[in-house]
Amino acid sequence: MQSHAATCHAMLMAAPASGQGKTMTTAALARAYRNRGLRVQAFKCGPDFIDSMILEVATGKPVYNLDLGMCGEADARRLLYKAAQENDVLLLEGVMGLYDGNPSCADIAERFGIPVGLVVNAKAMAQTFAAVAYGLYAFRPSLQRAGVIANQVGSEGHARMIKEALPADIPWLGAMPYNDQLSLPERHLGLHLAQEINDIDQRIEAAAQLLGQEIPLPPTVSFDTPENDSSELLLQGKTVAVAKDAAFCFIYKANLDLLQALGASITFFSPLTDAQLPLADAYWLPGGYPELHLEKIENNTGMRDSLKAAAAAGIPILAECGGMLSLGESLDGRPVFGLLKGHGNIESKRQGLGTQHATLPNENGTSTIGAHTFHYGRFETDLPAIAHGKGRYGTGEAIYRDQNITASFLHFYFPSNPALAAQFFLP
């Protein structure tokens, strides 16, 4: 007999655009609720890795991605239902502006009946704030209105002006005073990694205190029971070693969960500091920032030799984005691990962005997996592409296969095709 729907408080935090302060505000909200003894789970709409790391610090729990394009509706339904069973409050951080992208975070809110909270940077704005909030909600009347948070307000009087201008049917959730000490540093791929911000926990706690402990709870939402999801144990008895350190850290938690559901054991290693690979049946080098750690990569001859020995032994290796760049012959003119013929460079302009789907050969013909790309890197190589991702605007990223190594700028989302994901880690 199927279980009943799971019910808890839930809200999707959206904004008119990027740069409004969604990540810190969502983190502050999560911490404020957590400080009240509530169990809080955060999600990140879209394929972003970095914002999720900030939200993990705020909640103390892994953060999962919800993306109707890359991950699919069934995956989102399963994750939300499970989280609603185990938590009091679910907070979803949106991506870009509320309606940006197709599908957008507004589509997620509508699909699952999640009320939308708005974060709007109120700096240099007063009553017009109300018009912006009204317009965002009125553009799609079917969206439930959870309320608004005014970010970067200059004073209590500033916040009061904004609150008094709001229409009666737009709830006021609160205001975040301007404090430049709480802003998060950024670089070409977005915010700095949480682990790079020494006082990130203190910043989140300070933001939670500024937001106030009386902030109301979001409305309750019921999440339907998902269809039964059972994975074949395609990786039973296998150990997959995953690179994880300051240079290799763009890892979807759902990917790790999926590998374990397929029967694999997971171990982690650092290509920056470990002298050799751990024993494993397959290796995965995810994306990250290898370009910021070239001296360590160049000098880690033990890891270079160990990787080359694994490749020579025919052990499967998956290298995504920064992982692929690190396996080339050089990156920005400096030697890297040298397993793939090709040279990488980090350019000043973005080289790839967006959801793509890659169709790859398998035992039954072909199969398709969801993926995402966002990078400033270029990889010049003579390796033939075995396939290309396909996005909204046509042909996308190349996927290379060099004996046992699969490499691409794509970040694959394993739960979108468990059987194909397993193939990356099998001889």
Instruction: For the chain, list the domains and their CATH numbers.
Output: 6-223 (3.40.50.300), 239-423 (3.40.50.880)
Residue 73: predicted pLDDT:
94
Residue 7: predicted pLDDT:
97
Residue 426 falls in which region: left (phi positive, over 0), alpha (psi -120 to 50) or beta: beta
Q: How many CB atoms lie within 10 A of CB 66?
A: 27
Low-confidence ranges of the chain (pLDDT < 50): 1-2
Residue 120: predicted pLDDT:
97
- Provide the b/e sequence for 253-263 (b: ≥16 CB within 10 Å): bbbbbbbebbe
Q: Are 28 and 79 in contact (CB under 8 A)?
A: no
What span, in angstroms and rounded, lies between the C-alpha atoms of 67 and 64? 10
At which residue do the structure tokens 């052990």 appear? 315
DSSP secondary structure string for all residues of 208-249:
HHHH-TTPPPPPEEEEPPPPP-----TTTT-EEEEE-SSSEE
Q: Are 281 and 239 in contact (CB under 8 A)?
A: yes
What span, in angstroms and rounded, lies between the C-alpha atoms of 98 and 17? 7
What counts of helices (H) and strands (E) characterise the chain?
Answer: 12, 26
Residue 1: predicted pLDDT:
38
pLDDT in tens, 84-96: 999 999 999 999 9
pLDDT in tens, 322-349: 999 999 999 999 999 999 999 999 999 9
- Four-residue CA torsion sign, 2, 7, 13, 16: positive
DSSP secondary structure string for all residues of 145-206:
EEEEEEEEE-SHHHHHHHHHHS-TTS-EEEEEE--GGGPPPEETTEEPPGGG-TTHHHHHHH
- Four-residue CA torsion sign, 266, 267, 271, 277: negative
* Residues labelled catalytic: 321
Residue 189: predicted pLDDT:
62
Q: Are 275 and 317 in contact (CB under 8 A)?
A: no
Global pTM value: 0.92
